[in-house]
Amino acid sequence: MAGTIIENLSGRKLTVLVTFLLLCQVICFLIGGLVAPVPANAQNILGTICKDTSIMKNDTTKWYYYRGAGKCEKIDLDSIHHDVSERDIVFAFQMPVPRESQAYDYSRWQQNLIGVLQVDIRYHSQMEMTSRSAITIDARLAYRNKGDPDDAWKLYTQSTETRVLDCDIDIKSENYLYNCSAVPLFELGSLYHDYYLLNLRLPVDTPDMNAHIGHIQDLWVTVINQNGGFTKVWLSLKTVFFPCIIAILVWFWRRIHILERKPVLLEKMLLSLGIALCFLNAPIEYLTLQYDLPFMLLLGDIRQGIFYAMLFSFWLVFAGEHMLIQDTSAQSSLKQYWRHLSAVAMGCISLFIFDMCERGVQLRNPFYSIWVTDLGTNLALTFIILAGISTGVYFLFLCYMVWQVFLNISQRRQSLPSMSSVRRLRYEGIIYRFMFMMLATLLCAALTVIGFILGQVAEGQWKWDEDIELEYTSAFFTGVYGMWNIYIFSLLVLYAPSHKQWPANENTSDTQNLSEEHEFSPLPSERSEISSLTSFIRKTTID
């Protein structure tokens, strides 16, 4: 039986390969820690209060801004004259804001833009705010590019949205502010334009509209965007890994087709995992530098979800194929793992439905958010909590499966002393290499689960407005991403079919040894196994 490369590769060559892969892993962490900036930037923008002097208040061609030629007339809410009504007030936000008296513009490398609204409400004895008041917002977003005149703003999107303000106050005094939670405002899947302008109005079209929100002093918008420098580092890694994984996939599949047998389950799972990684690695983000693609956030979530599903499924099959099973005469199939894979599929489908309810709708209306209602918030939090619990339970179950595999190997190792020295040393070497690979699998699984949970929390912390401080550094991003590629690369190399033939019988002068070699030589039903280790483990049920 030929076995796999990990079983037949010489110790010196295996050491060189493992050292090279570990060096690549260290480089990935160093790139994130020393080269890449922080993954995201956040800016707090205070809304400038402009006076709407137009007769028609709903004119979408009229924009209010406070920098450049034709800027609006500013007013102060504390000194509003009687001739100014609520309909004349517009809160203007120009993005990005200048820093150190220098104007900046957005870059397409920054990928996306998220806006979170914070309302400053001052206590007033005659305008007390009711608990969990609903605020109605007429939101309009415009854009312009470099070279355009200062007043050449073009409508990007508009919507009338209702948000719930969850506020409380410690001391009811005239100069104290309510403590109000931040609310999600908008989310753009692409940053195709150079400048953006947000105009917010608080309409009073009905007697109850915005009648119980107290005395608003200021509006703040926190805008979060991906760092352009981090995007360049991230895409550079994708550009390097993408052709490498494609090349090793082609090499892996060619070695399988050289054999006379059909691919076994583990080889099919490895191929599927490599294809999912290629789909994740494809640097299609380069297209956003030329085209406006607002669906990139949703597409990125789908690509990552497919990869997670394949990776989690592969680990279950990888551990299961090295456990004792009852029917060793039949070739393994996915039907044997339908319970495990069904749980993974249900989790991924649930997250996909949740993502479509959020970012799918945002393709049509960027001001939409599932977090703005109590039902939506509870549903979103339920999905995130269940996803975190499910991944934690999955990791514990995977650890249990790996422990079972180690127990099975320990039981089989009891028969090694009765073998010939050559065959015993061969199996001992295979077992040590396999145990090292399983420990690397557990490490990869642990970091993947940690990254998934932290990613869900980091994405939702601005939306549910909890005081959670996360130091989600670039080194962790690039390190885990590099770990996925290096781990799957090593699997494709080490678990590719080996062309070296291990003799069924060694040259022995002892009749007992000859009988032992005959007993442990591969049976006809085991010719379909991917490695001699699986044959060695499963022989218990046959014996």
Using a pLDDT cut of 70, give the percent of the chain over it.
82
pLDDT of residue 502: 52
Angstrom distances, CA of residue 421 to CA of 435, 466, 502, 518: 21, 63, 15, 15
CATH class (in words) of the domain with range 5-39+229-503+511-542? mainly alpha
pLDDT in tens, 470-522: 456 788 889 999 999 999 999 998 888 876 655 544 444 443 443 333 333 34
pLDDT, mean over the chain: 81
pLDDT of residue 326: 40
Of 111 and 463, which is predicted with more confidence? 111
Q: Which residue spans within 312-356 are E strands per DSSP?
A: none
pLDDT of residue 358: 85
- Please state, in angstroms and rounded to a whole number, the distance separating the CA atoms of residues 284 and 439: 33
pLDDT in tens, 127-153: 778 778 889 999 999 999 998 998 899
Q: In this structure, what is the dihedral angle of CA atoms 436, 437, 439, 440, given to the nearest 10 degrees? A: 120
Mean pLDDT in residue range 421-428:
70
Residue type at position 385: I
pLDDT of residue 11: 82
Of 309 and 430, which is predicted with more confidence? 309
- Please state, in angstroms and rounded to a whole number, the distance separating the CA atoms of residues 101 and 85: 34
Instruction: Pick from 265-274, 369-378, 420-429 the range whose average pLDDT is largest.
Output: 265-274
**Tokens (6 digits) for 214:** 């107290």
Instruction: Pick from 410-414, 434-438, 481-485, 526-530 the range whose average pLDDT is largest.
Output: 481-485
Angstrom distances, CA of residue 340 to CA of 78, 142, 315, 343, 499: 63, 49, 11, 5, 33
**Tokens (6 digits) for 174:** 């005239």
Mean pLDDT in residue range 341-350:
85
pLDDT at 265 over 60: yes
Residues 147, 152, 157: CA angle, nearest 5 degrees: 115
- Confidence tier at 331 by pLDDT (50, 70, 90): low
Instruction: Respond yes or no on whether the N-terminal peptide bond of residue 39 is cis (omega within 30° of 0).
Output: no
- Confidence tier at 329 by pLDDT (50, 70, 90): very low
pLDDT at 56 over 80: no
Cβ atoms of 51 and 501 closer than 8 Å:
no
pLDDT of residue 327: 43
pLDDT of residue 543: 44
- Confidence tier at 24 by pLDDT (50, 70, 90): very high
- Please state, in angstroms and rounded to a whole number, the distance separating the CA atoms of residues 298 and 300: 5
**Tokens (6 digits) for 238:** 């994708």
Mean pLDDT in residue range 309-331:
73
For β-strands 40-46 and 167-168, DSSP reports them as unpaired
Mean pLDDT in residue range 6-29:
88
**Tokens (6 digits) for 391:** 């991944």
pLDDT of residue 200: 93
Start-end of CATH 1.20.1070 domains in the chain: 5-39+229-503+511-542
Mean pLDDT in residue range 422-427:
68
Cβ atoms of 387 and 351 closer than 8 Å:
yes
Using a pLDDT cut of 90, give the percent of the chain over it.
31
Q: Which of 58-62, 195-199, 327-331, 378-382 has the lowest mean pLDDT?
A: 327-331
Query: pTM (2 decimals)?
Result: 0.84
- Confidence tier at 264 by pLDDT (50, 70, 90): confident
- Please state, in angstroms and rounded to a whole number, the distance separating the CA atoms of residues 67 and 50: 12
Mean pLDDT in residue range 70-86:
73
Cβ atoms of 120 and 213 closer than 8 Å:
no
Of 145 and 74, which is predicted with more confidence? 145
DSSP helix/strand/coil, 331: coil
Of 436 and 324, which is predicted with more confidence? 436
Cβ atoms of 325 and 538 closer than 8 Å:
yes
Strand order in the sheet with 215-226: 40-46, 215-226, 113-122, 183-188
Residue type at position 397: F
pLDDT of residue 143: 94
pLDDT in tens, 399-416: 998 888 888 777 777 766
Residues 464, 465, 467: CA angle, nearest 5 degrees: 125
369: Cα separation from own chain's centroid: 19
Binning the chain into helix, strand and coil, the percentages to the nearest 5 are 50, 15, 30
Query: How large is the angle between the packed helices 421-464 and 532-542, nearest 10 degrees?
Result: 100
Of 209 and 498, which is predicted with more confidence? 209
Residues 6+ apart with CB under 8 A from 260: none
Cα-flanking dihedrals φ and ψ of residue 82, to 5°? -65, -20
| DSSP label at residue 74 | B
